């Protein structure tokens, strides 16, 4: 059978995926299926426990995989690393209960915000695992590589924050843009909402249209700001507007900044080229080209464009990612690779799929 | 046959549509088919001259319509009003050659910019019909109703400018927002590019993805600015970024403004409610609701939302239109109704089609 | 406000729509909004009772409509005609409880099958309103016009059966095709599944793909067969395969038949042209043209094509409808018009919307 | 950089791709980028000669690839194997002119039909390379593996024929279905039409709709029949109807057959299970499951379902492939692997991408 998920080589890391019946779970399986150093030994899905994953995701039927089980049925002594793709809130309780020998990459929002009060404010309840929250490393790999390498628990970044922070952090760190007045206008595909049954995600509701949602109130706002503030060395408030549009995968963030000290678009571009030189997944596209989500689809790639605005002293940044890959499962595998000292591109070398 | 396009009542206005084989041409026919005071007497389409329109647009086969002819074969003495849906550049020559008794609604960009130098700069050649350019009335109906009523030649607004100007003009006129730093982030369906054969408009290229284009250089930028400057009483430079996304119809413009003098989102909303009170086509949606292109699809409706941004003193406006209707052919019919003293909603009372 | 749903003229029929928060309910409202002889006086939606319809369907916010109420709160003495857009099963109980003065057009499957045993077999329970089932007239308007005119209760046909029966009934009635071996391969848009929250109907599951479902076991199979058997004067078993594909609206049925007695595709076409001559909504498209769902979208139109197959003695019929209009709410209004002696095209004269 | 297309190991096969600026060309590059035994040394694209491939396909910008050149500029002595993705007609002249040492996998239709008269009839001109036509091996890999292994020139099958022949050939070979009356109703994504600029392929024309085309006259009809006739040992005429639907990739063929000698759907399923046992790419899906194009998207997988029809003695087969992979470039790489004696799944082990 093509693409077996598990081999038998003795030095493979044994992986459990918690919440494998969601889109990010399936995407982890798709990517790990080709990872030579990883073997999936447990898949959990509470509602589908007892079923093969192929029942839930027939596109993965060619893989030899363990059946879905309940979390409480995982034998943790046979597991080395856990990907946690559970809903937020649930996650912190589950992870707090895991044995200490496990490395964890958490794809939920539970451990991303470092400030406990900020967490409580945005998520509506006090954090249940404050010690872990302190320990967790924010896994924006290109920016946090060293910390990720040493981490036991990585908080995998949100999809919108990944697309907003990667273009902005180097510019703020280099002092090239004003901290004030940053606007992030993001357009997301529908998988960003997960596989949950909401009317807005039905085909006839989502196709052939677009709308903004959670204007001024999306939880990824403070996550974006946390990363930017760290780069700038001071608090930053961002105007962040997410939109839902008819594509399955992808986020395009169009970002509006004011340049500092007469910096031009070319200076911004130069800063980004420096920051991401040699990075396998981040490309600053040539001048005049425009990043498109379709050009990164299915891959861990990030395409960033820099444009002068007509208004003097302003610039426009455009960043394209696949929300399920660099915005979720791909970056999670990238973080795993870093945590394990493996080449960072392992199992992430699939080219984007276009058309 | 259902929905005849032409009746025989003696007092019907006789209509010619130049460029009927494009999407805006077809949309004019669709809307006028139910207009009790209008009769289509000529349809031109140079490449398809001699064919019935149903050959080019089979969805209109139920209508009794004149065959497509060449422009030079139109008998102008039997025509009262012309909709011109020709490419820019060509248009000014054609309209300059029309008999003086004709009223004209022009859907091209040729007569929108009042400043001859600005036109030459953005369109790459001097205007060929400067007298007409001066005479032309910019047909953003809700704003220019009185002038449209008296006009012989109406320059029908562009789709992006319609979606950007309607929310901004009242706020600028009321002095509620800063002229500086206005950002218009627009998302358009693919018909915005017309029926022309470009690779970017092929289904496999446009589906399931989004990209920005003409960043900082789109010709609708100066058109937007012209309208805003008039409202503000001073020049305005806007940062305008259009995006191409997978839907056939629709524009959503997300607009970022800085409020003046401590004005809140509620003050902005109140200004817009005042400005559009009693307007049949413009709705300021209730607080907490988010305009969506699918809610105006196929109709002449405009939905505007107002949201506070998290950053103090900033607000977000969202405007949804159907680019082929309020952004083109519907507003053209609306302008015709005004020019002829007919009820403004005549033939524009179709409800949006969802899903 | 454009397109008021209700006027005040004394001789308007007073309409109640039961189940107005589904897609067919919304479509009834869209169409009736322009009906000069009908006034919507009650809209029911159990889960949304107390809300304006615009809460559930913001695209209809321009209409003045009664708020949603529960069925038990409808005052029947103020109602003349009921459109019932409730789930099957529920429907028969509700309709059995309605006052006798009401005319009813039922959009569910409850009264379509005339044979009580057949109903019980396919729907898994005995029919709860056998008297009504006998009384009900199957409302395939072009075929049953006289019976519909006299009916009190019309069972509005299913979407697939409408698309399959209209091309086949005249050919069977004329003895031009074999009763044996008829194959109906149908492709449906996602609204065919209603607004219900099923995983298969989520955008990421339905977009960019197609699959067959209920192969050999769809409940519309016996409904198709019932109509064909009546035309042929003998029982018919059809091979019917529905497919779900990424479009919001539309059904295309590709139908494979064996010609009888050396009949050619041209003979089949002639039969259909005769059968539908003068029909306002059914068009046999010219030879060489191919019906497309997009050419009937949003309208009550039916496009039928006839093609010779390469295999001798076989032909291919293709039928395109909008499943929400001719396949549901449009045909329901058409039936209402017939029941009330109104011109059949009233409120159904909107042209298809393309693109 | 992730996923380099070319390594430097001495024993790599040197590949030229002729016609690399089309979708099948890009897909060959995507797949070969991960092939450890192949190195792309030449890419041709006449209109884009001199440009990097990333100019034409920005999604491939991470790969190190030779620039596009004209065919006449390829240095054939540095090439071992050619993938030819040129238009039919052109292809036979180009291939006839290639040096004899080259192995060739041709993705056009030029060498698929073995009968010269049949070719002339369907393609409108006599074949220009009759000797090669005789030599060419039809590369439906699972059926023709031995011949492909020995071939110098492989005619890669068409997308529709692949989806129709794989389910039917074993059944015909086993004598389980009638040769007469086979119906193939196929639904294709838009990339099936290539990247050519045709109005029907524009997003607004192809989205949200479906139509049949070339009914009874598509050139893949005789190609399907050739393969079936060979399996059945007698001529077969198939009724084949292709449809164009809104998805970028994928073909679903729904096939209607009459069983022979009382064979049941289960017998047909058993035959297919036997035929494809151990095949890495062909899966007969479990009873009750329905193949879907989205479950094979981006992969070389083939999913086949078998269903009983309600009409006695009839069955329905459903086959899903990705038209660009198993229907074109994936099968081409599979054939290359066979020709070179490499493991057949090399570079084809990517799992399907869903959603």
Q: Which of D18, D152, D5, D181 is nearest to D93 (CA)?
A: D18
**Nearest-by-CA chain C residue for A249:** C204
Q: Return the SS3 of B127.
A: coil
Q: Does the residue A36 lie in any domain?
A: yes
The answer to whether residue D345 scores a pLDDT higher than 90 is yes
Q: Which of B354, B321, B282 is nearest to C353 (CA)?
A: B354
CB contact under 8 A, C34 and B349: yes
Beta bridge partners of B257: B315
| DSSP collapsed to 3 states, chain C | CCCCCCCCCCCCEEEEEECCCCHHHHHHHHHHCCCCCEEEEEEECHHHCCCCHHHHCHHHCCCCCCCEECHHHCCHHHCCEEEECCCCCHHHHHHHCCCCCCEEEECCCCCCCCCHHHHHHHHCCCCCCHHHHHHCEECCHHHHHHHHHHCCEEECCCHHHHHHHHHHHHHHHCCCECCCCCEEEEEECHHHHCCCCCHHHEHHHHCCCCEECCCCCCCHHHHHHHHHHHHHCCCCCCEEEEEECCCCCCEEEEEEEEECCCCCHHHHHHHHHHHCCCCCCEEECCCCCCCEHHHCCCCCCEEEEEEECCCCCEEEEEEEECCCHHHHHHHHHHHHHHHCCCCCCCCCCCCCCCC
| Length of chain C in terms of residues written | 355
CB contact under 8 A, B201 and D198: no
Q: Does the residue B23 lie in any domain?
A: yes
Q: Does the residue C18 lie in any domain?
A: yes
Element spanning A137, H or E: strand A137-138
The answer to whether residue D261 scores a pLDDT higher than 60 is yes
Distance from CA of A31 to the nearest CA of D (A): 8
B137 and B61 part of one domain: yes
pLDDT at A7: 37
pLDDT at A10: 60
For residue B258, what is the domain's CATH number?
3.30.360.10
Residues of chain B found within 8 Å of residue C289, distances taken between Cβ atoms: 58
Which pLDDT tens digit goes with each residue over C297-311? Answer: 999 999 999 999 988
The predicted complex's ipTM stands at 0.96
| Residues C3, C4, C6, C12, CA torsion sign | negative
Nearest CB to D349: which of A3, A298, A349?
Answer: A3
Say if residue B345 is exposed, middle or buried (CB neighbours under 10 Å; 0-12, 13-18, 19+): middle
Share of chain B above pLDDT 90, in %: 95
Q: Does the residue D51 lie in any domain?
A: yes
Nearest CB to B309: which of A239, A248, A252?
Answer: A239
pLDDT at A89: 87
Distance CA A118, CA A219 (A): 10
Distance CA B215, CA A317 (A): 10
pLDDT at C10: 60
Contact (CB, 8 A) for A320 and A291: yes
Question: CA-based diameter of chain B, in Å?
Answer: 62
Contact (CB, 8 A) for D76 and D92: no
Which pLDDT tens digit goes with each residue over C186-222? Answer: 999 999 999 989 999 999 999 999 999 999 999 999 9
pLDDT at C6: 38
Which pLDDT tens digit goes with each residue over D187-229? Answer: 999 999 999 899 999 999 999 999 999 999 999 999 999 999 9
Which pLDDT tens digit goes with each residue over C253-269? Answer: 999 999 999 999 999 99
C183 and C259 part of one domain: yes
Residues of chain D found within 8 Å of residue A280, distances taken between Cβ atoms: 1-2
Nearest CB to C314: which of D239, D249, D312?
Answer: D239
Distance CA D42, CA D30 (A): 15
In chain B, DSSP finds a helix count (H) and a strand count (E) of: 11, 14
Residue D6 pLDDT level (bands cut at 50, 70, 90): very low
Contact (CB, 8 A) for C24 and C109: no
Q: Which of A70, A62, A63 is nearest to A39 (CA)?
A: A63
Distance from CA of B68 to the nearest CA of D (A): 19
A144 and A48 part of one domain: yes
Residue A4 pLDDT level (bands cut at 50, 70, 90): very low
Where in the sequence is the domain holding D149, given as residue range(s)?
A: 13-157+327-339
User: Tokens for D158?
Assistant: 């068409």
CB contact under 8 A, C248 and A197: no
**Residues near A234 by Cβ (< 8 Å), separated by ≥ 6?**
A179
What average pLDDT does the structure give for chain A? Answer: 95
**Residues near D41 by Cβ (< 8 Å), separated by ≥ 6?**
D6, D14, D15, D16, D66, D78, D79
Q: Return the SS3 of A17.
A: strand
**What Cα–Cα distance (Å) separates residue B326 from each residue in B13, B149, B277, B293, B344?**
22, 18, 18, 12, 13
Contact (CB, 8 A) for C105 and C156: yes
DSSP 8-state assignment for residue B285: P
Averaged pLDDT, C111-117: 96
Q: Does the residue C254 lie in any domain?
A: yes
Among chain D, residues having any CB pair with chain A shorter than 8 Å are 1-3, 23, 26, 29-30, 33-34, 57-63, 191, 207-208, 248-249, 280-281, 283, 285, 289, 292, 294-301, 303, 345, 348-355
Q: What angle, rounded to 10 degrees, do the helices at D220-232 and D159-173 form?
A: 20
C168 and C314 part of one domain: yes
User: Tokens for C224?
Assistant: 């198709």
Distance from CA of C325 to the nearest CA of D (A): 15
Q: Which of C6, C8, C36 is nearest to C333 (CA)?
A: C36
**Beta strand pairing call for D314-321 and A68-69:** unpaired
Q: Which of D335, D309, D336, D305 is nearest to D321 (CA)?
A: D305
Catalytic one of C74, C159, C275, C336: C159
Q: Return the SS3 of B96.
A: helix
Q: Which of B230, B220, B276 is nearest to B251 (CA)?
A: B220
C164 and C255 part of one domain: yes
- State the first-to-last Cα distance of chain D, in angstroms, to the nearest integer: 26
C124 and C187 part of one domain: no
B106 and B243 part of one domain: no
**Nearest-by-CA chain D residue for C215:** D307
Q: Does the residue C2 lie in any domain?
A: no
The answer to whether residue C9 scores a pLDDT higher than 50 is no
Residue D3 pLDDT level (bands cut at 50, 70, 90): very low
A-D contacts at Cβ under 8 angstroms:
107
Which chains contact A through at least 3 pairs of Cβ atoms less than 8 Å apart? B, C, D
Phi, psi for A294 (deg, rounded to 5): -65, -20
Share of chain B above pLDDT 70, in %: 97
Share of chain C above pLDDT 90, in %: 95
For residue B58, what is the domain's CATH number?
3.40.50.720
pLDDT at D10: 59
Distance from CA of A167 to the nearest CA of D (A): 19
CB contact under 8 A, A199 and C197: yes
| Residues B178, B179, B183, B189, CA torsion sign | positive
**Nearest-by-CA chain D residue for A283:** D62
Q: What is the dihedral of CA C107, C108, C109, C110, to 10 degrees?
A: -110
C81 and C133 part of one domain: yes
Q: Which of C254, C199, C244 is nearest to C218 (CA)?
A: C244
Residue A1 pLDDT level (bands cut at 50, 70, 90): very low
Catalytic one of D32, D132, D143, D159: D159
The answer to whether residue B48 scores a pLDDT higher than 70 is yes
Which pLDDT tens digit goes with each residue over C46-101? Answer: 999 999 999 999 999 999 999 999 999 999 999 999 999 999 889 999 999 999 99
Q: Does the residue A354 lie in any domain?
A: no
Q: Does the residue B1 lie in any domain?
A: no
CB contact under 8 A, C280 and B354: no
B271 and B171 part of one domain: yes
Residue D300 pLDDT level (bands cut at 50, 70, 90): very high
Q: Which of D6, D4, D8, D2 is nearest to D16 (CA)?
A: D6
Which pLDDT tens digit goes with each residue over C131-171? Answer: 999 999 999 999 999 999 999 999 999 999 999 999 999 99
CB contact under 8 A, B190 and D197: no
pTM, entire model: 0.96
Share of chain A above pLDDT 90, in %: 95
C202 and C262 part of one domain: yes
B312 and B168 part of one domain: yes
C244 and C128 part of one domain: no
- What is the count of structural domains for chain C? 2
The answer to whether residue C5 scores a pLDDT higher than 80 is no
The answer to whether residue B216 scores a pLDDT higher than 70 is yes
What average pLDDT does the structure give for chain D? Answer: 95
Distance CA A12, CA D325 (A): 31
Distance from CA of A236 to the nearest CA of B (A): 9
Say if residue C21 is preceded by a cis peptide, omega within 30 of 0. no
pLDDT at D2: 35
**What Cα–Cα distance (Å) separates residue A126 from each residue in A113, A136, A221, C4?**
12, 17, 19, 50
Q: What angle, rounded to 10 degrees, do the helices at A220-232 and A159-173 form?
A: 20
Q: Which of C260, C251, C269, C272 is nearest to C323 (CA)?
A: C251
CB contact under 8 A, B203 and D248: yes
Residue whose pair of structure tokens reads 């594909």 in the numeric block: C245
Distance CA D264, CA D316 (A): 11
Which pLDDT tens digit goes with each residue over D302-317? Answer: 999 999 998 889 999 9
Contact (CB, 8 A) for D242 and D218: yes
Which pLDDT tens digit goes with each residue over A33-82? Answer: 999 999 999 999 999 999 999 999 999 999 999 999 999 999 999 999 99
Which chains contact D through at least 3 pairs of Cβ atoms less than 8 Å apart? A, B, C
């Amino acid at each position: 059978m093509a693409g077996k998920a598990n081999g038998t080589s003795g030095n493979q890391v044994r992986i459990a995926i918690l919440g494998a019946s969601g889109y990010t779970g399936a995407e982890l399986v798709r990517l790990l299926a080709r990872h030579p150093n990883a073997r999936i030994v447990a898949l959990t899905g509470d509602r589908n426990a007892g079923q093969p994953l192929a029942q839930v995701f027939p596109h993965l039927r060619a893989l030899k995989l363990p059946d879905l089980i309940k979390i409480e049925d995982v034998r943790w002594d046979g597991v080395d690393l856990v990907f946690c793709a559970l809903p937020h809130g649930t996650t912190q309780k589950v992870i707090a209960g895991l044995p200490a020998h496990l490395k964890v990459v958490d794809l939920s929002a539970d451990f991303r915000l470092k400030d406990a009060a900020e967490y409580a404010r945005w998520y509506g309840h006090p954090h249940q695992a404050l010690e872990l929250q302190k320990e967790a490393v924010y896994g924006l790999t290109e920016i946090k590589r060293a910390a990720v390498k040493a981490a036991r628990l990585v908080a995998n970044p949100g999809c919108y924050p990944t697309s907003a922070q990667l273009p902005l952090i180097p510019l703020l760190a280099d002092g090239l843009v004003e901290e004030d007045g940053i606007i992030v206008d993001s357009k997301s595909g529908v998988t960003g909402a997960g596989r949950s049954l909401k009317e807005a995600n039905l085909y006839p509701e989502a196709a052939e249209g677009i709308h903004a949602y959670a204007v001024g109130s999306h939880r990824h706002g403070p996550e974006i700001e946390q990363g930017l503030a760290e780069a700038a060395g001071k608090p930053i408030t961002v105007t962040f507007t997410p939109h839902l549009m008819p594509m399955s995968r992808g986020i395009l963030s169009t970002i509006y900044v004011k340049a500092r000290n007469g910096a031009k678009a070319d200076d911004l571009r130069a800063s980004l080229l420096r920051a991401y030189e040699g990075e396998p997944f981040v490309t600053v596209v040539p001048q005049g080209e425009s990043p498109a989500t379709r050009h990164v689809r299915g891959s861990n790639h990030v395409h960033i464009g820099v444009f002068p605005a007509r208004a003097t002293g302003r610039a426009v940044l455009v960043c394209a990612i696949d929300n399920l890959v660099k915005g979720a499962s791909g970056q999670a595998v990238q973080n795993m690779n870093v945590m394990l000292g493996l080449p960072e591109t392992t199992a992430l070398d699939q080219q984007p799929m276009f058309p």
